[in-house]
A and B are shown apart, each in its own frame.
Chain A
């Protein structure tokens, strides 16, 4: 941005005067940080939306709406459908494919199978990129540390040429090296926090979906028995 200070230990000066490996480490960490923040926000929106849609669908489902109408609506507006709605749609479609007089046990098995498949897909979608956050959170401190160690190594190697070494000789090198650690931590801390948060959110959603699947299969079984 503004190239304000180039006085003594400005950020720009420190970064630009760092050795190549340290600069590469910094670049890597910057990309990792950008990506992890991107995923953090994406996941935040996605999970928030999933929770909202699940709430709405459960409300309408338990209010006793006709299952056929519900299915029609879910199949008609797939773009807007939430995960739970999709699980319901998959199960109900499988259920309606069977005709009366078929074995109820086999019918419910295939219905459950379809719902589980949809559930797996949805969970997969919800949990996507969480592993990236976990990786960034656990690895980037080490990457930053590597950059720091490398920078300090160089600082001390340059120090060996001097007869009289003072702290002022090592200070810039160490400062520039420590920037790498700072960046690593800056990337890691939000990633770890977000990972933990989103992991618990998705596991909560997963239990909700699973219990909904059980309840739906019970409902469908009763309905099949009536036929």
Chain B
């Protein structure tokens, strides 16, 4: 009897509920930690895109100037144009002032030299349309704006952002409409003279610019020649050191990426495209290292071309 009562007592354990509550609490805390403590969203790391410019990106700047809103200080290279607001007003009074506006439109030319193809076009095309304009101007005023308008499309060809140039045309066209209605035949002659002067000035400037562009182009081609020359020299030097494995079928081609130090020393050689004949690949690689230092142009500006360059070697020289 006693014993049974005893056993009942022994089962009465303290703090059952408290333990349960605490256990739940532990899980809740852990759960909360899992949900809020860890960032379960995986946001991709923000990537930064960096553009490398060798020159200042100027083509962007003329656009605000043409729109008559941009502040002065942005224009760096060109002769400081009159403040944009003035140009706007003056254009309406006379037609002398379109000059700066046109300059603005033309600015992109020197910057856009980089591709070699457009240069010859620039040199040849602009002059012919200009000469006719002078002759026609002497006779009447009205055709002139049209000619001017025709002139302007040329820069449009050269500069990619077409829509931005269009407003300029309109501005130039508008003033003449005003002139026609308000001013009298006496004034027309004066205007004629002014416009002629103006046109000549414009032409002059254009010619100057073309000369500059030509020069730059010449420089560029010279540089290219130089680069090509040195590439050929490198090729020749390496080729002279290759111990060609005999009797390979066909004309296997191997492509290496060569990294140079400024002194012309070979820093690294990477096989880009194997020829399929490892003997040939190895022979060429050995030859590259053997021919260090490679001939490179003394001009550090040109060295850029040679820091990393691709070297293609054909098995048979006379391809």
Contacts and interface: CB of A to CB of B under 8 A. Distances in A.
Interface of A: 1-2, 4-5, 7-11, 14, 30, 33-35, 37-42, 44-46, 49, 78-79, 81, 86, 93, 121-122, 125, 186
Interface string B254-267: 00000000000000
Contacts of B13: 42, 45-46
26 contacts: A1-B31, A1-B32, A1-B35, A4-B35, A7-B40, A8-B40, A10-B40, A10-B41, A34-B27, A37-B27, A38-B23, A40-B23, A41-B15, A41-B18, A41-B20, A42-B19, A45-B14, A45-B15, A46-B13, A78-B9, A79-B9, A81-B9, A86-B10, A125-B10, A125-B11, A186-B30
Contacts of A93: 2
A35 B10 CA distance: 21
B76 interface: no
A121 B8 CA distance: 12
B14 A38 contact: no
Contacts of B26: 37
B75 to A, nearest CB: 48
Identify whether the interface residues of A are mostly helix, strand, loop, or mixed. Answer: helix
B35 to A, nearest CB: 6
A181 B30 CA distance: 15
Interface string B20-46: 101110110011101110001110000
Instruction: Output the residue of A9, A14, A37, A122 with the most chain B CB within 10 A.
Output: A37
Interface string B43-70: 0000000000000000000000000000
B279 to A, nearest CB: 36
Identify whether the interface residues of B are mostly helix, strand, loop, or mixed. Answer: helix
B12 interface: yes
A42 B16 contact: yes
Contacts of B7: 121
A186 B9 CA distance: 35
A45 B10 CA distance: 15
A30 B27 CA distance: 9
A41 B19 contact: yes
Contacts of B10: 86, 121-122, 125
Instruction: Output the residue of B5, B10, B27, B32 with the most chain A CB within 10 A.
Output: B10
B238 to A, nearest CB: 39
A45 B22 CA distance: 12
B23 A37 contact: yes
B6 A78 contact: yes
Contact of A45 (B18, B36, B40): B18
A45 B2 CA distance: 27
Nearest 3 A/B pairs, CB to CB: A41-B19, A37-B23, A45-B15
B9 A46 contact: no
A10 B36 CA distance: 10
B40 A9 contact: yes
Instruction: Output the residue of A38, A46, A121 with the most chain B CB within 10 A.
Output: A38
